[in-house]
Structure 1
Amino acid sequence: MASIGVDVGGTFTDLVLERDDDGPGGRRVFVHKVPSTPADQSVGVVDGILAICRIAGLDPKAVRRVVHGTTVATNITIEKNGAEVGMLTTKGFRDLLHIARHKRPHNFSLHFDVPWQSDPLVKRRNRMPITERIMPPDGRVETPIDLDEVRAAVREMKARGVEAVIVCFLFSFLNDAHEKAALAIVREEMPEAFASASSEVANVIREFERFSTTAMNAYVGPRTARYLRNLETRLRDEGMDAELRIMQSNGGIGTVATCSERPVTILMSGPAGGVIGGRWAGAMSGVGDVITIDIGGTSADIGVIADGAIRIMNPRDTVVGQHPVLAPMLDLDTIGAGGGSIAFRDEGGAFRVGPRSAGAMPGPACYGKGGTEPTVTDAHVVLGRLDPERFLGGDMAIDPSLAERAVREKIAEPFGMTLEEAALGIVTIVNANMALAIRSNSVARGFDPRRFSLMPFGGAGPLHGVALAEAVAARDVIVPPAPGITAAMGLLATKLAYEFTRSTPTLVSGPAMGDFGAANATLADLTALAAERLAADGVAPEAMIFERVAECRYQGQGFELRTPLPDGPVTAESAGAIVAAFHGVHERDYGYRFDDTQVEIVTLRVIGSAEVPPLTWPGLADAASPDPAEALLYVRPTTFDDRQRLDTPRYDRDRLKAGHVVPGPAIILQHNSTTLVPPGFTARIEKAGNIRIARNQQPSAEVAS
């Protein structure tokens, strides 16, 4: 029996397999990379699964669980090729998705795009007004719903070829009776359509954000559901009866059925696995404060883990494709910087790198697949940091002459540089872009990088790790055991989790503090929903874990912050603890607090989860001495960021043992990544399999004298 984690990136699909017993060579954990297949990700996923099973000497039928991190839903939002969506909404409010909140994306620019107007998720002609009205604050029915209007509107949408239909009425989070009635007619008249109601997808306050979330769910829904069903079918056709689980944006895994119904929960499925894998690898070194940066072929994903805890974004920040999405997501940032990022001279004559990427096809020029534009990978080849015969463990051939030609013709000659200067310029610029993003996610949010270890992973991460740690003043660098596969490892190091929400405005401080009956009833309902979902996945009641969160604000504020709730019912006594926790969260995020201002709960959340046996990485054998000579492969000249060109030894990471010390300059090679140790730094191999890289200690003046 075995479990497999599969993470699909823009260039490569990464896999990790863990056997319950020992495989070839006494190994229990196997890793592998295969090229991604952007036209249909399931092809690369299944090919990769079959390949890693062969490597592990395992019959694919013996795989009991496959956990998948996918970018299908994300790519739909980027490529803007989602479904044709129809919308039933309250009469008089069909333009709510267009008007939004009248916020300018760029306050001081006269030339900007408003994406929810230029690229609406639902075209205006497909927004059908329906006579009905629910009123606050108690959800009373002001105007009964006209079901004949609903039926006529649905038939018109069917005639137009609409693929997905959403039902979004005002104040449905207070009373969803009208939405349920309309949705029943949609499913009766258009059983083939992807149909959902806002009270099912995001049962929370704020109409625009709720409608936008529901629209996004439908926009990505049909293609995402087809992909997941297709993947299940392909696996069965190969004789595999494994449970297929999907990584969700909140760091938990869900079933194919639930993720097909709510694809809005997997919009950040791909990047989420990397943050989970970073926490797992940091724990192996006893480090809880980690800044992760997952650098792949197309993008770099940055996350901050403080005291071993992974942060969830506040709702005001959960934006995908510039559309607000009220779905829980891990707090991370993605920028267009990776091995495939293209270097170019822009229209103003400036030297730029990214965000445009060469992707998997044609890829960097050195791949020899028709690419002619220089990329970050090509720059590393020119600098001697990637050896042609050892790229991807020798499984993929690269041509240094093609990299040199691309860098020379597109960068060196136009800017009057030498070939080496041009390549160093490419690396320097992309490092600056990533360092800025790291600071935005750490310093700008109240975290001091000096107490954090930087953890670079992804295929390109360890090549940039030390330079980025120096740029942001991180404590040191931790390179995971298989950096190119770390996101896939995170898939086997996470848990089953579902999150349920409902807006229940409740004052928890001040003289007007009200009754907590509604809040406690909501918590009970949400807990029951979470328990029902976990039970459907076969989780025993005693194995269920429930976490409760309140989204709180100072009364009158426009947005809320996630605040943990104490165990037990909300009472006048426990309200004090809620208020104190919110003050602390507000001060951490904004740098100040208002102790005398009334605090209000707006939305309640319950996260139901169940632990899954985590990935166990085998420890390394102990080295006889710190000298890593037994792992030395060969020596080649390499150019470093300080322009020094030095004869640099290459070491085989598979031969390095616990206690080996690798002084810089050095390059550590493995199948899925390459680690650069510059001069003045030393890498130490830990028992758990991580590599710790730190600057050499300078002797004090007294010792030197």
Structure 2
Amino acid sequence: MKRVSVDIGGTFTDCFVAWGDQYVESKALTTHQNLSLGFNEALDNACKSLGLTDSDLLTQVDSVRYATTLGTNALIERKGPRLGLLTTAGFRSSVPLTRAKGYATGLPHKQQMDVPNAQRPDPIIPIPMIMEVRERVDYLGEVVLELDEDDVLEQLRNLVDKGAQAIIVNLANSVVNPAHELRIRELFLEEYPGHMLGAIPMLLSHQVAGRKGEYVRSMSTIIDGFLHEVMYHGLGTLELNLRNAGYSKPMLCNHNSGGMAQLNSTDALQTVHSGPVSGIAAGEHLANQTDLGNIVATDMGGTSFDIGIVTKGGVKHYDFNPIIERWMVSVPMVHLVTLGAGGGSICSYDRMFKTVQVGPESAGSDPGPACYDRGGMRPTVTDADLILGYLDPANYAGGYIKLNPRRSKQAIDEELAEDLDLSVVETAKLMKSTVDGNMANGIATELRTRGYEPENFTILAYGGNGPLHACGIARALGVKKVLAPPFASVFSACGAGNMSQLHIHEMSTWTVLFDANQSKFFDNYDYFNGIVEELEERGREDLLRQGFTPEQVSYRLELDMRYGNQRVETAVVTDLNRIKGPEDVLKLIEQFFTRYGERFGSGSQTPEAGVRINTIRVCSYVDLPGIAFHGIKPNGHRAPAPPPVDHRECHFVGHDGAINTPIYDEQALVAGTQIEGPAIVVTRATTYLVEPGWHYTAAEQNAVWFTCAD
């Protein structure tokens, strides 16, 4: 297997190369003005380790997989075309009203509570660019009012005259009957043929999002249309860059649904947050291969701290209505919680509570933390780590970046220490304990609100800063064991290389498996099976278009189920792709009963309230060979600890004064090596910090376990 996978974050571009039995990880600073420059530099670094040129590598690899923040940046900067919206008469205000939640959606909890200063984001589509058309379809898909075609043509002309560069069509209940949306597209192409110079693209909402909910479906399609141009040119430029270097195969893009596809089968909306989701996919792959059970995937990079959950058996949590930037959308997206707690998160003085506030603002890669000596003037988490002695100024990121401790000291002193009336070192300790506590609280909240306890999960700490803060997070969380997985510093890029080619299609439904009022079981099998067949057909067409045969395509059926009218939905993965009789209905109910009990505790089930399916989801995929993980769990074998290569004065939270701390190099990653804290292990890719009272054990493939000695 020869494969290149890249994850472009807000600060670093991570590259992972699988070259037969060799695995190489490398990093470069993200170049936001042209992402391909950072990609090329990271690839150059990997090629040097293999003794190859870029051209030699790219002409021989099986695939190049790419996860990017390009869409996220475009939304933040509002870089996109002028859009127009056609909607059902009477629904013109759905988007501007934003379900009355737009003032708070996507903001940190503290800002959500500040109602007097609440303000909705600037709309992507202003009200004058929203037009109504006369038509109506009811919730069952029955046509109540036929489409007024003359009215449609008039409204289309209005949008074109007002300068619309792309048109969104979102009609009420089009997911159950898309006939009117399809007819509008026919009328549009008759009036404005696609071959004309300056032709305008049109997006239909039922083809972007398959679930009911007019506002969230509108926003899904609007964001997809808004990002289409910048993603097309950005990813197209990257693909051209690969072509110039000798790569001739289709470029693959990672999706936030947990899969990937060729560029021609990728919607712009699917690429948002695709990097962190790749890390969750890597965690799932690791857990399945090494029998780790339940895991929490935590990615602490330079800009953010991302949290994802995978329970035993590979059941990922999906967001039914995820938040992208400041808007709620309706697409199947692997559930992800993002905190402003990366290495580049800026620390400021909280005057109300007279303490340190970490994030959400980040220094990014340009100018970066103050210690990068690139013009950054504000203190960050990385500056605190440097002042506390955890980082080697001359050997950070393998010597790729030289750090300036004087800049860190100056930034912390001027911005924080004076207001706190603390020394620079004590301020740095407070910065570290605050960020570790924030991340621990994020993990605890995410688990407990879903009915789980942290002690029943293995915490994975990865990303460039994950192994550096693993012990601090675990201490604040109250857990005794954390795993820094193989290739921890580029684990998300590694996950991008492990993904299957996958497409997810879903449809809202009102399927009552057990009606408690009538004591009746579901018996309309043709209705259920027809939906599943339609969703399978859509996925099969997606994969056939990418060169696969029908025999290579597999399907996974997932059902979002609930008891009665409960608001909580639980995803159930089932091997029943069709319902053939009452025994299959009972099996689905039993599977839901078991899954619900695992999540909320045995005895919490309430089948007497009725059992309902709200969403039918089909994952169509082609399994591809991935990175093999093995030997992650300690097997009792002990290797002699290597002698320290240096000692450094370090400061630790909860300990007064400096501690003379041994420093180890990559020899400490030999499987079986055990080290008692305090200690620091410095590698080319990352830094492992073993705090006092913690124990370090190296496993195979450079995995590291941190265990509390208490």
What letter is aligned with 2:71? Answer: A
What residue is the counterpart of 1:662 in the other structure?
Answer: 675
Which string of whole-angstrom CA distances, capped at 9 and with x for unpartnered residues, describes residues 80-108 of structure 1? Answer: 44432211111221112223444586797
Which whole-Å CA distance do the structure 1 matches of 2:182 and 2:209 have between them?
Answer: 14
Distance 1:607 1:37, change over 3 A: same
Query: What SS does the aligned partner of 2:614 have?
Result: strand
- Contact kept? 1:361, 1:369, Cα under 8 Å: yes
Is 1:529 matched up with 2:538? yes
Distance 1:161 1:506, change over 3 A: same
Distance 1:336 1:443, change over 3 A: same
Which whole-Å CA distance do the structure 2 matches of 1:586 and 1:459 have between them?
Answer: 36
What residue is the counterpart of 2:391 in the other structure?
Answer: 386
What residue is the counterpart of 1:86 in the other structure?
Answer: 84
Q: 2:123 aligns with which of 120, 136, 145?
A: 120
Which whole-Å CA distance do the structure 2 matches of 1:443 and 1:560 have between them?
Answer: 16
Task: Report the CA distance between 1:143 and its aligned residue.
Answer: 2.4
What residue is the counterpart of 2:528 in the other structure?
Answer: 519
What residue is the counterpart of 2:107 in the other structure?
Answer: none
What residue is the counterpart of 1:339 in the other structure?
Answer: 343
Q: 1:255 aligns with which of 259, 262, 271?
A: 262
What letter is aligned with 1:375? Answer: T
Is 1:552 matched up with 2:561? yes
- Contact kept? 1:637, 1:648, Cα under 8 Å: yes
Which whole-Å CA distance do the structure 1 matches of 2:315 and 2:424 have between them?
Answer: 42
What residue is the counterpart of 1:148 in the other structure?
Answer: 150
- Contact kept? 2:27, 2:45, Cα under 8 Å: no
What residue is the counterpart of 1:157 in the other structure?
Answer: 159
What residue is the counterpart of 1:134 in the other structure?
Answer: 137
What residue is the counterpart of 2:109 in the other structure?
Answer: none
Is 1:74 matched up with 2:94? no
Query: What SS does the aligned partner of 2:557 have?
Result: strand
Q: TM-score, normalised by structure 1?
A: 0.91
Distance 1:187 1:378, change over 3 A: farther
Q: 1:572 aligns with which of 582, 588, 591?
A: 582
Which whole-Å CA distance do the structure 1 matches of 2:253 and 2:269 have between them?
Answer: 12
What residue is the counterpart of 1:650 in the other structure?
Answer: 663
Is 1:409 matched up with 2:411? no
Which whole-Å CA distance do the structure 2 matches of 1:245 and 1:654 have between them?
Answer: 36
Write the mapping of 1:592-607 to structure 2, written as runs, cut at 5 A.
Answer: 592-607=604-619
Which whole-Å CA distance do the structure 2 matches of 1:460 and 1:264 have between them?
Answer: 28
Distance 1:540 1:57, change over 3 A: farther
Write the mapping of 1:464-503 to structure 2, written as runs, cut at 5 A.
Answer: 464-503=469-508
- Contact kept? 1:105, 1:112, Cα under 8 Å: no
Which whole-Å CA distance do the structure 2 matches of 1:657 and 1:311 have between them?
Answer: 32
Which whole-Å CA distance do the structure 2 matches of 1:77 and 1:273 have between them?
Answer: 21
Task: Report the CA distance between 1:556 and its aligned residue.
Answer: 4.1
- Contact kept? 2:26, 2:43, Cα under 8 Å: no
Distance 1:378 1:531, change over 3 A: same
Write the mapping of 1:608-647 to structure 2, written as runs, cut at 5 A.
Answer: 608-616=620-628, 626-629=639-642, 632-644=644-656, 645-647=658-660
Which whole-Å CA distance do the structure 2 matches of 1:485 and 1:79 have between them?
Answer: 27
Which whole-Å CA distance do the structure 1 matches of 2:567 and 2:288 have between them?
Answer: 37
Q: 2:591 aligns with which of 578, 581, 592?
A: 581
What residue is the counterpart of 2:108 in the other structure?
Answer: none
Distance 1:447 1:323, change over 3 A: same
Distance 1:160 1:49, change over 3 A: farther
Task: Report the CA distance between 1:195 and its aligned residue.
Answer: 2.1
- Contact kept? 1:636, 1:649, Cα under 8 Å: yes
In structure 2, stretches of 5+ residues that fail to align are: 105-111
Task: Report the CA distance between 1:628 and its aligned residue.
Answer: 1.9
Which whole-Å CA distance do the structure 1 matches of 2:151 and 2:265 have between them?
Answer: 31
Is 1:418 matched up with 2:423? yes
Write the mapping of 1:209-228 to structure 2, written as runs, cut at 5 A.
Answer: 209-228=216-235
Which whole-Å CA distance do the structure 1 matches of 2:366 and 2:458 have between them?
Answer: 34
Q: TM-score, normalised by structure 2?
A: 0.91
What letter is aligned with 1:75? Answer: N
Distance 1:109 1:421, change over 3 A: closer
- Contact kept? 1:61, 1:241, Cα under 8 Å: yes
Q: Which moved more, 1:635-644 or 1:558-567?
A: 558-567
What residue is the counterpart of 2:208 in the other structure?
Answer: 201
Which whole-Å CA distance do the structure 2 matches of 1:82 and 1:664 have between them?
Answer: 51
Which string of whole-angstrom CA distances, capped at 9 and with x for unpartnered residues, describes residues 344-395 of structure 1? Answer: 1145354211111111111001100011111100011111100111101112
What letter is aligned with 2:341? Answer: A
Query: What SS does the aligned partner of 2:390 have?
Result: coil
- Contact kept? 1:664, 1:677, Cα under 8 Å: yes
What residue is the counterpart of 1:31 in the other structure?
Answer: 25
What residue is the counterpart of 1:25 in the other structure?
Answer: none
Over aligned residues, Cα RMSD in angstroms?
A: 2.6
Distance 1:78 1:436, change over 3 A: farther
Q: Which moved more, 1:118-127 or 1:665-674?
A: 118-127
Name the count of aligned residue pairs.
Answer: 684
- Contact kept? 1:504, 1:522, Cα under 8 Å: no
Task: Report the CA distance between 1:405 and its aligned residue.
Answer: 1.1
- Contact kept? 2:256, 2:274, Cα under 8 Å: yes
What letter is aligned with 1:536? Answer: R
